[in-house]
Amino acid sequence: MDIQDLTKYEQILQLIIGEQLSSVEFVQDYIQFKFDGPVLTAISHPIVKVNDKFYSWNEPDYRDEICKRISIKVVKASICPDESVKVYFDDDSIIEISIRVEDYRAAEAVKFDYDTSKWWVI
Amino acid sequence: MLAVALSFDSDTQTFTQGFLGLNGDSSSLAYKIGEGARTAIDYGLIAVDIINTPFSPTPDVGLIGAAGITSRAVGREVAGTTSRFVDDAALISRRGPDFVVTPRGDAIPIPTGATGPYPTRGVGFQFTGGSGGAGLSPRVSNVRIMEPTTPRGPSPGYPSGYVNYSNSLGQSVNPYTGRTIPPNDPMWHLPLRP
């Protein structure tokens, strides 16, 4: 992925800053995070970091911890090339979606829909 | 990748087409109507030969058959063969074609009533907001036509790109049943012919 593209993607991702995580949808075996409009689809399984503890897919409390982020505002969003997409919440928790090649589960790892028909995909 | 978007106006019995050129940068869409094409309408079948189009590096032939096509014109001529698409608003307000056809003959049905193609960042283009048609489930709203990818994890890579259909919630679906599918379902990434 071109670094310039990722920089643009990261700029666009800033749209969710200040927005709350309004809902979480578990679809088949991936997750959609919704921010009262913009939707971040994590095809690669995200991890959640809460109080220095990491929760991974299929671990106990994983889904609970994901859903506990609902209603919490986003304070930061970043894309680290070849590493991950990270969403930082107001309670110091982080949702991290890997974009490392070895972690891809399909041709796409993350998709972000931010307007009726605007989107990017990594 | 070069693809062709087709549309037929049943009121005026005229055929239009647009060429979508993706040359590693899908923000530069070349789009043109009609030039270098022959059409034949027979028993509701539309066949199109694309000959020596200015956008094609080699003379490619795309063939498509479709019945009951009702879309209106989709194209607007843009000067130059690799014009940057400067008038996104004109595109966005436009109803999409019925099919997009690749040079290798892959016909990609566009959900009925979908609009587009919508410009995007780097990797493909999409038509959104439609519903079914051309064998698609009514629950299919959107289609993304994506550029080639390299192998990643269990993904084999798609050297000619792939197609993805989704519902109105942006969730990938089986285009025929409309049911949501996981990423490892072959219907998530429908490979385009090399």
Helix (H), strand (E) at residue A114: strand A110-115
What is the pLDDT, as a whole number, of residue B116?
83
Query: Per DSSP, what are the bridge partners of residue B9?
Result: B14
**pLDDT at B84 (0 to 100):** 26
- DSSP letter, residue A82: T
Of B123, B154, B181, the CB nearest to A28: B181
Tens-digit pLDDT profile for residues A65-93 = 999 999 999 999 999 998 999 999 999 99
- CA–CA dist B82, B96 (Å, integer): 20
Which A residues in the span 2-21 are in contact with B, Cβ-Cβ below 8 Å?
A: 2, 5, 8-9, 12
The predicted pLDDT at position A4 comes to 76
| Bond into B117 cis (ω within 30) | yes
Partner-chain contact A106 B154, CB within 8 Å: yes
Burial letters A23-50, b for 16+ CB under 10 A, else e: ebeebeebbbbbbeebbbbbbbbbbbbb
Rounded to the nearest angstrom, the minimum Cα separation between B45 and chain A is 31
| B186 in A contact zone (CB under 8 Å) | no
**Can you give the pLDDT at residue B20?**
46
Return the pLDDT at B12.
Answer: 52
- A66: phi then psi, degrees, rounded to nearest 5: -60, -50
Under 8 Å between Cβ of B88 and B51: no
Lookup result for tokens 């025929």: B176
pLDDT digits (tens, 9 = 90+) for A16-56: 999 999 999 999 999 999 999 999 999 999 999 999 999 99
Tens-digit pLDDT string for chain B (194 aa): 444 555 444 455 444 545 444 433 333 333 333 332 322 222 222 323 232 233 333 223 222 323 222 222 222 222 222 222 223 333 444 677 888 888 788 889 999 999 888 766 667 888 999 999 989 999 999 999 998 888 888 888 899 999 999 999 999 999 999 999 999 999 999 999 88
The DSSP annotation for A22-73 comes to: -EEEEETTEEEEE-SS-EEEESSPPEEEETTEEE-TTSTTHHHHHHTTBTPB
3-class SS of residue A12: helix
Residues 6 or more apart whose Cβ sits within 8 Å of residue B5: B17, B18, B19, B20, B74, B75, B96, B97, B99, B100, B101, B110, B117
The residues with which A53 forms a beta bridge, in sequence order, are A50
Q: Which residues pair with A55 in a beta bridge?
A: A48
- C-alpha pair distances (Å), B14 with each of B8, B114, B124: 6, 20, 28
Handedness of CA B10, B15, B16, B22 (dihedral sign): positive
Predicted local distance difference test score (pLDDT) of residue B111: 94
Q: Which residues in chain A are closer than 8 Å to B117, comparing Cβ atoms?
A: none
Distance CA B76, CA B186 (A): 35
Asked whether the whole model's pTM tops 0.80, one would answer no
Q: Work out the pLDDT band at A118, boundaries 50, 70, 90.
A: confident
Contacts of A117 in chain B (CB under 8 A): 92, 115-116, 118, 126, 128-129
Instruction: Test B169 with A107 for CB contact under 8 angstroms.
Output: no
Separation CA B76–CA B62 (nearest Å): 20
For residue A84, the one-letter residue type is: S
